[in-house]
Chain A
Amino acid sequence: MRHIVSLLVENEAGALSRIAGLFSARGYNIESLTVATTEDRTLSRMTIITNGSERIIEQITKQLNKLVDVVKLQDFTEGNFIEREMMFVKVKAQGDGPRAEVKRLSDIFRARIIDVTDTTFCIELTGSGEKLDAYIKAMHENNVIEVVRSGSMGILRGEKSLTI
């Protein structure tokens, strides 16, 4: 099953490689990993999307927790949370018809066109992974020049939070 694990990590050189190394050394899957510092500069916030049986996921969270650099960790999967991913897509857009079509589709998905040339559009889109997939599908493969996805990040709903 797919799990979304959120971590607070010491903002130290090497912390990221410890976490990435753990996944490769123990043969766990990483679907995506996002990381950036938080408002507290000494901490990084990380979201990892992984999958595996319940036993594997239990080991993953335990092994992550065991890393000295990991301050706090939570598996959001069971709880109430919001998950978003951001994407840039560069598409071919030549001629009035196709350009209008891209704009129309982008409106439907609430995507934003952030860069324009005579022949291309660059679009920014935020949403769940499925939404991003659907957008790419709607664009037709042969029109898509380039896709950049951030990987998912997550936050708990309501008053709960992952903080120290």
Chain B
Amino acid sequence: MELSGSEIIIQFLKDEGVKYLFGYPGGAVLHIYDALQNQDDVIHILVRHEQGATHAADGYARATGKPGVCLVTSGPGATNAVTGIATAYMDSIPLIVITGQVPSHAIGSDAFQEVDAVGITRPCVKHNFLVKDINKLAETMKKAFYVATTGRPGPVVIDIPKDITAPHIKIPYVYPKQISMRSYNPNLKGHPKQIKRAVELLLSAKRPIIYSGGGVIIDEASDQLRQFVRKLGYPITQTLMGLGAFPGTDPQFIGMLGMHGTYESNMAMHECDVLIAIGARFDDRITGVTSKFCPHAQVIHIDIDPASISKTIKADIPIVGGVKQVLTEMIKILGNARQSPDKAALDIWWKKIKSWQDQKSYAYEQTDGVIQPQAVIEELYKVTKGNAYITSDVGQHQMYAAQFYHFDKPRRWINSGGLGTMGFGLPAAMGVKLAFPKKDVACVTGEGSIQMCIQELSTCLQYNLPIKIINLNNRYLGMVRQWQEFFYEKRYSHVYMDSLPDFVKLAEAYGHVGIKVEDPKDLHDAMKEAFALKDRTVFLDIITDQEANVYPMISAGKAHNEMELSPLQQEIQASLRAKGETV
């Protein structure tokens, strides 16, 4: 088969099983766009901003586990994509970004719309390529997919000069089914001795805790995790990125940990004697100040990326390997082990955890006439029966969603954790909806975040993507305001969202349905109505308590046992204490 560079790109994507290509045209990719016209195997989704393309592809990847693919032009197309690339990089999401480049002979001459895309993206990609020879195009694309999807996944950029895609230069094309790279061989199998040692340590624990993260979802290892946790009977906490890997409604799950995690999970972290980290990277939102982190714990760490291990917290038993393989091994060893978990110690440990749980660290005050943000998420959970795909933007609303929507399955909770990119939620929801058109997809957002990629409402109309946008409208950049309240004596500097648009009219202007909700009494019906409108994009503009805060919270420099509780939680704690019920 003789194909031009442009045709090779498309044929390759087809051969690789890529269904959607999120993109935006421009001069350097005109040849590719011309070739896109003549086929319908790879469906192009025209976004309204290249950032939207990257987030949409990212959302698709997070929901499906398959790589998301984007196509953007050179110069501003490439720079607009950078935020999305960095977002995917921080959360280890497989993304392929094809950037057009000025013709080879013009590279380096400050040509029109020239930027050094490989240079600009270098620090936020897993790897990137500049294609210099059409004969290497297919092979390079294969390498890109291979690198992006294996080991610790991540975004890969392929920069393709315009002359490589010229229609009149054709070469023979064969799909490279397999590729091997001498410099890249991710290791999946953990060291058997280390695994054995880890199991022994786990079985000797008196106050164990399992701390699992995004790596479990990436490796599709939920089943293994569930078996493992069941077998041991130990409490499990999950990171923001790990939610759903283990069922959120299971009694062994004691809630998210970290800055806005539950009291019980953070206290358990602080008091544990054995900690096993599974596909989690000891992020600073988790550890707080590292010198006070888990002071009594021996640490086991399973991670596919050796650089994640002992980066911030030293692992006593490091295990480099894939979560799935390592857990499978561990389950096997547990099955044959003569020793079993220390039942008596575990009973005491669970009692202690229950006493922490009794403090209801997520409790919030219900108010008449004012909608509490937490109540919106609870309503969303009820109406969707916990079955929806939830994407989120960044801020307080994101934390409420993580706290109050209980994810029982992996890949249902889709948010930007590592980079914390406002603007992620809406385009990500588009990617999810394309992947699962029959499923409910909601984007939990705030009036600040939604305006960062609001233009994608237009894409939703063009491709008929009936997403439900749940806007927790507190008229504040709430997360920033909260910090200013706590740490800057309420000096609110530039966090008030003045001159907000009328979101209902805005949604309507984009051809969608807009519903404004101000009274708690209307919340349920509005939510029901939004999801009943099966084939419409609905913007629920929900006016929420303006100065609600996310609790509990571990402030900078504090340890897990120094959480700040809400006034209500403090009351609960005090009354428990009065009854002599706290440990």
Please name all residues of chain B whose beta carbon is closer than 8 Å to the beta carbon of A69 when the two chains form the complex. Answer: 183
Partner of A68, one of B181, B311, B314: B181
The answer on a CB contact under 8 Å between A21 and B122 is yes
Which of chain B's residues 122-170 have a Cβ closer than 8 Å to chain A? Answer: 122-123, 126-128, 130, 147
Residue interface bits A110-144, CB-to-B below 8 A is 1, else 0: 00000000000000000000000000000000000
Question: Is there a chain A Cβ closer than 8 Å to B307's Cβ?
Answer: yes
Please name all residues of chain B whose beta carbon is closer than 8 Å to the beta carbon of A9 when the two chains form the complex. Answer: 183
| A40 to B184 alpha-carbon distance, docked (Å) | 18
Question: Is there a chain B Cβ closer than 8 Å to A58's Cβ?
Answer: yes
Stretch of A59-67, A80-88, A98-106, A146-154 at the chain-chain interface: A59-67
Which of chain B's residues 293-316 have a Cβ closer than 8 Å to chain A? Answer: 305-307, 310-311, 314
Question: Is there a chain B Cβ closer than 8 Å to A164's Cβ?
Answer: yes
Nearest-neighbor residue (CB-CB) of B314 within chain A: A55
Q: A14-B118, A62-B306, A68-B147 are in contact. Are A25 and B184 (CB under 8 A)?
A: no
The answer on a CB contact under 8 Å between A71 and B182 is yes
Min CB distance B147 to A, Å, is 6
| A10 to B127 alpha-carbon distance, docked (Å) | 13
Question: Is there a chain B Cβ closer than 8 Å to A18's Cβ?
Answer: yes
The answer on a CB contact under 8 Å between B122 and A17 is yes
Q: Main SS of the interface on chain A?
A: helix
The answer on a CB contact under 8 Å between B123 and A25 is yes
The answer on a CB contact under 8 Å between B183 and A55 is no
Partner of B305, one of A66, A70, A164: A66
Q: A21-B122, A71-B182 are in contact. Are A62 and B307 (CB under 8 A)?
A: yes
Question: Is there a chain A Cβ closer than 8 Å to B119's Cβ?
Answer: yes
Partner of A65, one of B119, B123, B181, B306: B306
Q: A18-B122, A21-B122, A59-B307 are in contact. Are A68 and B130 (CB under 8 A)?
A: no
Q: A55-B310, A59-B311, A164-B182 are in contact. Are A68 and B126 (CB under 8 A)?
A: yes
Q: A68-B184, A69-B183 are in contact. Are A21 and B123 (CB under 8 A)?
A: yes
Question: Is there a chain B Cβ closer than 8 Å to A13's Cβ?
Answer: yes
Please name all residues of chain A whose beta carbon is closer than 8 Å to the beta carbon of B118 when the two chains form the complex. Answer: 14
The answer on a CB contact under 8 Å between A10 and B183 is yes
| A66 to B122 alpha-carbon distance, docked (Å) | 14
Please name all residues of chain B whose beta carbon is closer than 8 Å to the beta carbon of A18 when the two chains form the complex. Answer: 122
Please name all residues of chain A whose beta carbon is closer than 8 Å to the beta carbon of B310 when the two chains form the complex. Answer: 55, 58
| A44 to B38 alpha-carbon distance, docked (Å) | 43
Please name all residues of chain B whose beta carbon is closer than 8 Å to the beta carbon of A62 when the two chains form the complex. Answer: 306-307
The answer on a CB contact under 8 Å between B306 and A13 is no
Min CB distance B281 to A, Å, is 13
With a 10 A CB-CB cut-off, give which of B130, B181, B183 has the most chain A CB atoms: B183
Q: A55-B310, A68-B181, A70-B183 are in contact. Are A14 and B130 (CB under 8 A)?
A: yes
| A13 to B128 alpha-carbon distance, docked (Å) | 11
Residue interface bits B373-391, CB-to-A below 8 A is 1, else 0: 0000000000000000000
| A14 to B305 alpha-carbon distance, docked (Å) | 23
Please name all residues of chain A whose beta carbon is closer than 8 Å to the beta carbon of B130 when the two chains form the complex. Answer: 13-14
| A103 to B156 alpha-carbon distance, docked (Å) | 57
Q: A17-B119, A17-B122 are in contact. Are A71 and B307 (CB under 8 A)?
A: no
| A55 to B34 alpha-carbon distance, docked (Å) | 52
Please name all residues of chain A whose beta carbon is closer than 8 Å to the beta carbon of B311 when the two chains form the complex. Answer: 59
Min CB distance B145 to A, Å, is 13
Min CB distance A151 to B, Å, is 23
Please name all residues of chain A whose beta carbon is closer than 8 Å to the beta carbon of B183 when the two chains form the complex. Answer: 9-10, 68-71
Min CB distance B349 to A, Å, is 31
| A59 to B305 alpha-carbon distance, docked (Å) | 11
Please name all residues of chain A whose beta carbon is closer than 8 Å to the beta carbon of B182 when the two chains form the complex. Answer: 71, 164
| A55 to B119 alpha-carbon distance, docked (Å) | 28
Which of chain B's residues 171-230 have a Cβ closer than 8 Å to chain A? Answer: 181-184
| A9 to B305 alpha-carbon distance, docked (Å) | 20
Please name all residues of chain B whose beta carbon is closer than 8 Å to the beta carbon of A70 when the two chains form the complex. Answer: 183
| A69 to B183 alpha-carbon distance, docked (Å) | 6
Min CB distance B78 to A, Å, is 16
Please name all residues of chain B whose beta carbon is closer than 8 Å to the beta carbon of A164 when the two chains form the complex. Answer: 182
Min CB distance B126 to A, Å, is 7
Min CB distance B183 to A, Å, is 4
| A55 to B311 alpha-carbon distance, docked (Å) | 8
Nearest-neighbor residue (CB-CB) of A58 within chain B: B310
Please name all residues of chain B whose beta carbon is closer than 8 Å to the beta carbon of A21 when the two chains form the complex. Answer: 122-123
| A13 to B129 alpha-carbon distance, docked (Å) | 10
Nearest-neighbor residue (CB-CB) of B151 within chain A: A66
The answer on a CB contact under 8 Å between B147 and A66 is no
Please name all residues of chain B whose beta carbon is closer than 8 Å to the beta carbon of A10 when the two chains form the complex. Answer: 183
Min CB distance B540 to A, Å, is 41
Min CB distance B152 to A, Å, is 8
Min CB distance B242 to A, Å, is 22
Please name all residues of chain B whose beta carbon is closer than 8 Å to the beta carbon of A59 when the two chains form the complex. Answer: 307, 311
Residue interface bits A153-164, CB-to-B below 8 A is 1, else 0: 000000000001
| A9 to B184 alpha-carbon distance, docked (Å) | 11
Min CB distance B534 to A, Å, is 45
| A10 to B310 alpha-carbon distance, docked (Å) | 28
Min CB distance A18 to B, Å, is 6
Please name all residues of chain B whose beta carbon is closer than 8 Å to the beta carbon of A13 when the two chains form the complex. Answer: 130
| A63 to B311 alpha-carbon distance, docked (Å) | 10
Min CB distance B155 to A, Å, is 13
Please name all residues of chain A whose beta carbon is closer than 8 Å to the beta carbon of B147 when the two chains form the complex. Answer: 68
Min CB distance B16 to A, Å, is 19
Please name all residues of chain A whose beta carbon is closer than 8 Å to the beta carbon of B314 when the two chains form the complex. Answer: 55
User: Nearest 4 pairs between A and B by C-beta?
Assistant: A62-B307, A71-B183, A68-B127, A62-B306
Q: Would you mind naming 27 contact pairs between A and B with Cβ atoms under 8 Å apart?
A: A10-B183, A13-B130, A14-B118, A14-B122, A14-B130, A17-B119, A17-B122, A18-B122, A21-B122, A21-B123, A25-B123, A55-B310, A59-B307, A59-B311, A62-B306, A62-B307, A63-B307, A66-B305, A66-B306, A66-B307, A68-B181, A68-B183, A68-B184, A69-B183, A70-B183, A71-B182, A71-B183
**Interfacial residues, chain B to chain A (CB-CB below 8 A):** 118-119, 122-123, 126-128, 130, 147, 181-184, 305-307, 310-311, 314
Given A14-B118, A62-B306, A63-B307, 20 more A-B residue pairs with CB atoms under 8 Å apart are A13-B130, A14-B122, A14-B128, A14-B130, A17-B119, A17-B122, A21-B123, A25-B123, A55-B310, A59-B311, A62-B307, A65-B306, A65-B307, A66-B305, A66-B307, A68-B126, A68-B127, A68-B147, A71-B182, A164-B182
**Interfacial residues, chain A to chain B (CB-CB below 8 A):** 9-10, 13-14, 17-18, 21, 25, 55, 58-59, 62-63, 65-66, 68-71, 164
